[in-house]
Amino acid sequence: MADISIIGAGSWGIALALLLHKNGHCVTVWSIMEAEIEMLRTKREHKDKLPGVKLPDDMEFTTDLESAVKGKELLVLAVPSPYTRSTSHSMSPYVREGQLIINVAKGIEENTLFTLSQIIEEEIPQAEVAVLSGPSHAEEVGRGIPTTIVVGAKKKHTAEYLQNIFMNEVFRVYISPDVLGIELGAALKNVVALAAGIADGLGYGDNTKAALITRGIAEIARLGVAMGGKFETFCGLAGIGDLIVTCASMHSRNRRAGILIGQGYTMEQAMSEVKMVVEGVYSAKAAMGLAKKYDIQIPIIEQVNAILFDAQPADEAVRNLMLRDKKIENPLLPWEETE
């Protein structure tokens, strides 16, 4: 049994807290919001973000960051990506040398173009940082729906330790050394999911969504490999797996926000209506910054940025994609020589 703290009491943090408790671990959940912690203590349920998922009486909840961090075997960092840096900065004085932190949020910081693990390593240099990602909606994990994810860590023994901590009969865990690829797949798929939602909001069909998923993973892999990620990662759970579930499910806040934008809502109106952090909005500009830095073409993500930040009509963005220059799908495949 491990003594574990979940730093962040959103839907994903709560779902993982319940999973880890069922695995026999001692679990504490931290939130900066007093009202949220009081609700969890008294109702034993997150009424706003994970209704119907009951939490055990011996799970602890606190707003005291020092007590949540000190002396824990594992810290699970589950705050939304825009708050990763500030939360890590606040945690750092209480984190011991060699402390294991696993980040479960998804995103890229716009001004630095850092992945979330890179942010954590900068703010908490004494910690060992791993990541967890894959097709895993909190609403389903909280209900014990069979789910498969991947843990990324630089050291194999760290990944194997985390595999043992999280894995059970309904939560299968694979391991990988490609931390960068996992994080890039996790962050960039949210931008493509916005595009898929926009297509739904415009009234398009399965053909359109299949095209966005397929060409979307091509963009993600192209950029990810240029940055040093491994192509195999983008073919796996943290790549195409997470992209499929995020583009197809109404659990996806990115897809829901995209649907509203496709129906004519502004970005701000859509985010307000969803009532949760829409990670793809925060990663979209960062993705363009990375594409420029590495000289990679990402036309779908480019059009999402134009819709979000340049007031381009969604249907015009679709036309721009459809009328791009003619392309070969895979330039590496050889042609039979003919006259």
Residues recognised as catalytic: 189
User: Between the CA atoms of 22, 11, 255 and 136, what dihedral angle is there, to the nearest 10 degrees?
Assistant: -20
Find out whether 247 and 222 touch, Cβ atoms under 8 Å. no
Q: How far is residue 102's CA from residue 155's CA, in Å, rounded to a whole number? A: 13
Asked if 201 and 260 touch (Cβ cutoff 8 Å), the reply is: yes
Report the C-alpha gap between 232 and 154 in whole angstroms. 17
**What does R_g of the chain's alpha carbons equal in angstroms?**
20
Question: HSE of 192 in the Cβ direction (CA atoms, 13 Å)?
Answer: 31
Instruction: For 259, list phi and psi in degrees, rounded to 5.
Output: -55, -45
Segment 247-252 long-range contacts (CB within 8 Å, at least 24 positions apart): 247/189, 247/192, 247/193, 247/196, 247/197, 247/209, 247/212, 247/213, 247/216, 248/196, 248/209, 249/137, 251/137, 251/138, 251/139, 251/140, 252/137, 252/193, 252/197
Could you say which DSSP state residue 27 is in? E
Residues in the chain: 339
Beta-strand (E) ranges in 109-180? 128-133, 147-152, 171-176
